Structure 1
Amino acid sequence: MLFAFICKDKPGHLNVRMETRPAHVEHLNKLNAEGTLKIAGPFLDAEGKPNGSLVIVDADDIDAARSLADADPYAKAGLFESVEVKPYNWVFNNPEA
């Protein structure tokens, strides 16, 4: 089942995002190689700077999805003000459909 992580950065934490980015990308590359990661990328503010993240993963259930969200280096570094984990139904342009 697919789950979306809707992550909002803490204000003034762009430096945390940039410092943690290599570990975050490595984490996502691992999930991608396992076939768990479906979509990922940052939300942008009006100036085009990242201020949050959208990550969509395939997980057995919401508890497994939350564990994946918690394992993200961004989450471990305290970047996020909030992380919402929601079941997701990929209807349009799903390459696996």
Structure 2
Amino acid sequence: MYYAIISEDVDNSLSLRQTAKAAHIERLQTLKAEGRLLLAGPHPIIDTPDPGDAGFSGSLVVAEFDSLVEAQAWADNDPYVDAGVYRKVVVKPFKVVLP
């Protein structure tokens, strides 16, 4: 089943993101290589794909896991969590309807 991992950043998280970005992306690449990643990306603070120094307000990952417990464990071990990027992380089951 798919799960949505919805993360909310702390204020002024850009420098924290930069310290852990490579490890964070590597984990997402692993999910992609395993055919389990539906989508992933950050939420820019301003209405543009590249917010520059404005940074991001959070992230969304939708990926396939065997259970909610497994999805939560994966989210809990995100390098962004260890780096202090996220203030809050919510993991919910996700049903793909379209496309």
Partner of 1:13: 13
Q: Is the 8 A contact 1:14 1:51 kept in 2?
A: no
- 1:30-49 aligned at under 5 Å gives the runs 30-46=30-46, 48=51, 49=55
Contiguous gaps of at least 5 residues in structure 2:
none
Letter of the 2:12 counterpart: G
- Give the drift of 1:46: 2.1
Secondary structure at the aligned position of 1:15 is classed as helix
Q: Give the share of equivalent positions with the same residue, in percent.
A: 39
Partner of 1:28: 28
Kindly indicate whether residue 84 of structure 2 is the aligned counterpart of residue 83 of structure 1. no
Distance 1:4 1:38 in 2: 10
Q: Structure 1 length normalisation: TM-score?
A: 0.88
Distance 2:30 2:88 in 1: 23
CA RMSD of aligned residues (A): 1.2
Distance 1:64 1:43 in 2: 24
**Count of residue correspondences:** 93
